[in-house]
Amino acid sequence: MPLSLDPIYILFIAIVVFLVSYLLVSYFRESSTQKKEERGRIITIKKCLNCGYVLSKPYEKGDYVGKKEGRCPKCNGEMMTTAIYLEPPPQPQVATSS
Amino acid sequence: MDGVQDWTSMLIAILILSSFILNFTDIPQKIQFTRYSSVVRRKLMELIEFEEEGRRKSIKYLKDMNMPNPKALIDNYVDNFFMIFPVEREPIDIIKRLKHLLRTRDEAVKRYVLEQVPNISEIDRQKTEVLLELNSVLTYINKVVKHYYNLGVKFNDWIMMMQLALQINQIVRLAKAYKDAIDSFGIGAPIGDGAGALVAKMLLDSSLVASEVAPETNLYEASLEGRKLYVIKAKGPGPTVGWPGEALEKLAESLECKISRIITVDAALKLESEKSGEVAYGLGAAIGDLGPEKIAMERIASKCSVPLDAVVIKMSNEEAINTMTKQIYEGVVKAVDVVKNIILSKTKEGETIVLIGVGNTLGIE
């Protein structure tokens, strides 16, 4: 028997479609917010106390701001840690059309 | 047309029935209760996972510090060492009483760690104390959420369950920040809250020698463009905030109030619309303690009749207790310029200025 397109049928189908799409949207929204976050990397900035040469390297346990350690590769002066911070992870490249 | 009429009558019957169910029964509330309690239950599982992960990580970091029995150390700490706040109904000497309680608790925690590990270094002892505190906070958050969830279930209180379900995302966010902070403190790199201490450090010459003017608090004597500059900050690089208020009291006493300006620098919680690392300046004591240190600064400023400046670096709660981000570091660099500008524009050569870098000095000497 062919299904006649009564207004009631249309309403019923619309309600079902709405509920299913609402469920799907909420599911995907929740799973997308639970993506694993990238923390970035911690950088140590060292500066030569003699010539001002700045060196950046990955943070190592035991580094602290004010720590005097190592020699300057340019003038052999004393190096001091002047900053330690978390560098954000690189942003994904967005394709641009010219 | 008969089919349509049948469907129409059925729809009207369904509507009337639904209206009756919605208006004269508790079924909608029961359905809502089931939905909200399932949301809270799922999030509670996340909170339990955070607590367990935090515990695992702390045990790892404590083992790296050669602790003999880190699990027992944490288990015996969590739930104990709480502090009951002083009576507020009688406000006379409340700050004195609060300060006494805070000091006593600090001493008790310090003694507890030293009893367990007598040969521990000062930095490791401070790190251990913070790790214990973070575990304690994670357990406490879990307990509070479980308490309200169980109460809601016990009394079928759908309003309580709804409130909890609506707030749970913020609670989870906070708990996650505390869980991540365990890594930050375990690693030992500066945290966002150290912004004030870093500003102070950046204004100092590398050759200056500090004197410990109050417990875990250093005082440096420096100079800037012909002005005498006293810098107070917590003693690093361990995770401590020191006692900057007490240090200022002692310094003002020794200088017989001959101070032209007091500048406080600290991290401040940003509003959601504000950017991390924004710098703002104003008046007052920029310090987020429970009261004793802040009031000490205010009292000294008013006793000596000295302007009290505040410079703040804005950040979120999560950023404050986790490794300092580049954005906040850039804010610190800006704050150094703001402080220099205040000193140069508002004081004259030969005057004495006190700069207080407030905050946790982890990873900053």
Q: Residue B225 pLDDT > 50, yes or no?
A: yes
Q: What is the pLDDT of residues B82-101, one digit of tens each?
A: 999 999 999 999 999 999 99
Cβ–Cβ below 8 Å for A84 and B237: no
Asked if the C-beta of B201 comes within 8 angstroms of chain A's C-beta atoms, the answer is yes
Residue A48 contacts residue A29 (beta carbons within 8 Å)? no
Asked if the C-beta of A65 comes within 8 angstroms of chain B's C-beta atoms, the answer is yes
For chain B, give the longest Cα–Cα distance. 101
Q: Residue A97 pLDDT > 60, yes or no?
A: no
Q: Quick one: what percent of chain B has pLDDT higher than 90? A: 85
Q: Closest CB to B364: pick one of A7, A66, A80.
A: A66
Q: What is the DSSP string of B170-213?
A: HHHHHHHHHHHHHHHHHHT--BGGGHHHHHHHHTS-TT---EEE
Asked if the C-beta of B7 comes within 8 angstroms of chain A's C-beta atoms, the answer is yes
Q: Can you give the pLDDT at residue B119?
A: 87
Residue B194 contacts residue B364 (beta carbons within 8 Å)? yes
Distance between CA atoms of B112 and B53, rounded to whole angstroms? 24
- Going from the C-alpha of B27 to that of each of B19, B34, B39, the distances in angstroms are 12, 10, 19
Question: Nearest CA to CA, how far is B190 from chain A (Å)?
Answer: 7
Q: Which CATH superfamily is domain A41-87 in?
A: Ribosomal protein L30/S12 (3.30.1330.30)
The chain B residue lying nearest A83, using CA atoms, is: B329
Residue B44 contacts residue B145 (beta carbons within 8 Å)? yes
Distance between CA atoms of A19 and B21, rounded to whole angstroms? 21
Cβ–Cβ below 8 Å for A63 and B363: yes
Q: Residue A98 pLDDT > 50, yes or no?
A: no
Average pLDDT, chain B: 93
Question: Nearest CA to CA, how far is B324 from chain A (Å)?
Answer: 5
Phi, psi of B192 (to 5 degrees): -55, -40
- Pair of tokens at residue B92: 């006379």
Q: Residue B215 pLDDT > 70, yes or no?
A: yes
Asked if the C-beta of B363 comes within 8 angstroms of chain A's C-beta atoms, the answer is yes
Question: Nearest CA to CA, how far is B206 from chain A (Å)?
Answer: 7
What is the average pLDDT across B138-153?
Answer: 96
The chain B residue lying nearest A80, using CA atoms, is: B206
What is the average pLDDT across B203-220?
Answer: 92
Asked if the C-beta of A41 comes within 8 angstroms of chain B's C-beta atoms, the answer is no
Q: Residue A94 pLDDT > 80, yes or no?
A: no
Q: Which of B267, B279, B303, B249 is nearest to B191 (CA)?
A: B267
Q: How confident is the model at residue A8 (pLDDT cuts 50, 70, 90)?
A: confident
- Going from the C-alpha of B67 to that of each of A61, B81, B112, B114, B117, the distances in angstroms are 18, 20, 13, 11, 7
Asked if the C-beta of B315 comes within 8 angstroms of chain A's C-beta atoms, the answer is no
- Pair of tokens at residue A30: 């929740």
Question: Nearest CA to CA, how far is B192 from chain A (Å)?
Answer: 9
Q: Can you give the pLDDT at residue A35?
A: 58
Alpha carbon B79 to its chain centroid, in Å, reads 19
Q: What is the pLDDT of residues B309-354, one digit of tens each?
A: 999 999 999 999 999 999 999 999 999 999 999 999 999 999 999 9
Q: Hey, of B1, B6, B7, B65, which one would you mutate to test binding to chain A, going by the most A CBs within 10 A of its CB?
A: B7
Q: Can you give the pLDDT at residue B11?
A: 83
Q: Residue A36 pLDDT > 70, yes or no?
A: no
Q: Residue A96 pLDDT > 60, yes or no?
A: no
ipTM score of the complex?
0.86
Domain extent listing, chain A:
41-87
Q: How many helices (H) and strands (E) does chain B have?
A: 11, 7
Q: Quick one: what percent of chain B has pLDDT higher than 70? A: 99
Question: Nearest CA to CA, how far is A94 from chain B (Å)?
Answer: 22
Q: Can you give the pLDDT at residue A33?
A: 63
What is the average pLDDT across B130-151?
Answer: 96
If you search the block for the tokens 């802040």, which residue do you land on? B294
Q: How confident is the model at residue B289 (pLDDT cuts 50, 70, 90)?
A: confident
Chain A residues whose beta carbon lies within 8 Å of the beta carbon of residue B323 = 42, 85-86
- Going from the C-alpha of A77 to that of each of A58, A64, A98, B233, the distances in angstroms are 21, 19, 49, 28
Sign of the CA dihedral B201, B205, B206, B210? negative
Check residues B11 and B40 and name the one with the higher pLDDT.
Answer: B40
Distance between CA atoms of B287 and B297, rounded to whole angstroms? 9
Average pLDDT, chain A: 83
Distance between CA atoms of B72 and B117, rounded to whole angstroms? 12
What is the average pLDDT across B198-209?
Answer: 91
